[in-house]
């Protein structure tokens, strides 16, 4: 049953079933048992669940990784505004590395040019640690 398919007395039953399937771990044991055995609502599989949201710190780290990679390759951070930098990250936690066979990794495309431009504009509000990290890899602030 998909959201919007069955609406009864103004209640979207498809949406309710989806929320029960996705949030099964938030239900009590009795509620889980009733949903599964009485109502026939099976828990969502790992493939059906949405990926966890990435924190702002993790997003900054990914962008910084892309900037560092660009700097190591090009020797500067004069990144064109529309430049997209492909990087390899661990697929589970956004960390670099992963298994040596590469099966736990994925390629991400980082909009590095826009990010660098934004960091320059927000220089006054960046933490001193972030300013230092970017300065260490050749960031020009003006």
Percent over 90 (pLDDT), the chain: 51
Q: What is the pLDDT of residues 107-130, one digit of tens each?
A: 999 999 999 999 999 999 999 999
Per-residue pLDDT of the chain (142 residues; tens, 9 = 90+): 777 777 778 888 888 888 888 888 899 999 999 989 988 888 888 888 888 888 999 999 999 999 999 999 999 999 999 999 999 987 544 444 444 555 678 899 999 999 999 999 999 999 999 999 999 998 988 7
Contact present, 116 and 77 (Cβ < 8 Å): yes
* C-alpha span between 66 and 96 (Å, rounded): 11
Distances (CA, A) of 133 to 31, 40, 55: 50, 53, 19
φ, ψ dihedrals at 35, nearest 5°: -60, -45
Per-residue pLDDT at 90: 78
pTM: 0.60
């Amino acid at each position: 049953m998909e959201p919007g398919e069955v609406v009864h007395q103004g209640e979207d039953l498809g949406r309710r079933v989806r929320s029960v399937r996705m949030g099964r771990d938030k239900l009590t044991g009795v509620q889980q048992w009733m949903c599964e055995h009485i109502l026939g609502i099976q828990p969502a599989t790992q493939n059906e669940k949405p990926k966890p949201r990435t924190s702002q710190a993790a997003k900054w780290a990914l962008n910084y990784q892309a900037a560092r990679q660009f700097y190591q390759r090009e020797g500067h951070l004069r990144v064109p505004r529309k430049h997209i930098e492909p990087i390899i990250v661990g697929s589970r936690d956004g960390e670099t590395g992963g298994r040596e066979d590469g099966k736990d990794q994925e390629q991400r495309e980082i909009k590095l040019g826009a990010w660098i431009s934004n960091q320059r504009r927000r220089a006054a509000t960046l933490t001193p640690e972030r300013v230092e990290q970017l300065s260490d890899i050749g960031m020009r602030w003006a």
